Amino acid sequence: MDSRENIKIRKTKVDVKGKIIEFDEYYMINPETGEEVFNRNLEIENDTRLYDIYKKQMNLLTSSEIKNIRKKYGMNQKDFALAIGVGEITIHRFENGSIQTESVDSIIRLSEDPDIMYNLLIKNQANLSDSDFNCFLTKVNTLKKLKHHKIANFNIDDFINLNFETESINNVTNQLIIEYNTQINNVSEKYGIEDNCEIAEYITPLKLQKLLYYIQGIALRIYEKPAFTSNISAWRYGPVVDEIYQKYKGRNPISTPNTNYEVCDGLKKIIELVVSSYGKIEAEALIDLTHEEDPWINSVNGSIISIDLIKEYFNKVYE
């Protein structure tokens, strides 16, 4: 009797808090008599779908969105409610279709930010056992750290239809230098900076190495494939591609190479993204940034940083 074959769909209009909502209502029929029969699970499913439509129209979080925020912190419904300072059964009700008030919705929405969740957790510490509080605090601090390493801002949908191929390290490096120096030239022209000042701002070997690492990480996150096949090693001053280090030794800025070769569209867009985000950070600060990240921390000094480690980390940062 509970077979999905016996479930039908009809368009229905329902008044929800004075707002008329039209939605697809599921109902079950008796296959022998053709009569409609009551099914509690379908009723719950219909209510959740109906109220989620209402929530979207009223700019409130849907049931699944609330659940995803909660799961982000590894909390059950009761613990999440206590951590953000609302009633014990509140989150249970909202995840099962009940409509939240705007004030409670704002608290849940704000709690998605690990920095704000940290403050809520500290404020409501007395609501939780010591062991639960310490466990959740560790999780929130981990997410806070990841958030602060989320430097680039992008939408994967903007990349998925672009051609992407793994390139040689020399091609990626050349395109990176061209893109970085071009952006410097554009800024120099805009503000009328003298040529000698402009040259001093060109990409340096140290900054080149750090941006290559972030290009590799972003490529693995978006396309699940590396930007280049050359190994990245964990050196004292952060991730380094040895062959590029040997090619561009020293501290002097690197001139733009004379080449007409361009990498594939997907990789070119990633390079542009990294230059416009991580490229704005001073080289010494980029060293500090990489020293706080798992791929460098979890690799023996001088050893190769595994592709899997880089991929896993950037998947967490840009979840």
**163-191 residue pLDDT tens:** 999 999 999 999 999 999 999 888 777 66
Between vectors from CA 175 to CA 172 and to CA 178, what angle results, nearest 5°?
150
Is 244 exposed, middle or buried, given 0-12, 13-18 or 19+ CB atoms closer than 10 A?
Answer: buried
Distance, in Å, from the CA atom of 255 to the CA atom of 277, rounded to the nearest integer, reads: 21
Output the pLDDT for position 312: 97
**CB within 8 A of 42, min separation 6: which ones?**
7, 26, 27, 28
Output the pLDDT for position 196: 46
Distance, in Å, from the CA atom of 176 to the CA atom of 42, rounded to the nearest integer, reads: 55
Output the pLDDT for position 198: 42
Output the pLDDT for position 31: 86
226-243 pLDDT per residue, tens: 999 999 999 999 999 999
Which residues of the chain, if any, have pLDDT below 70? 1-4, 190-200
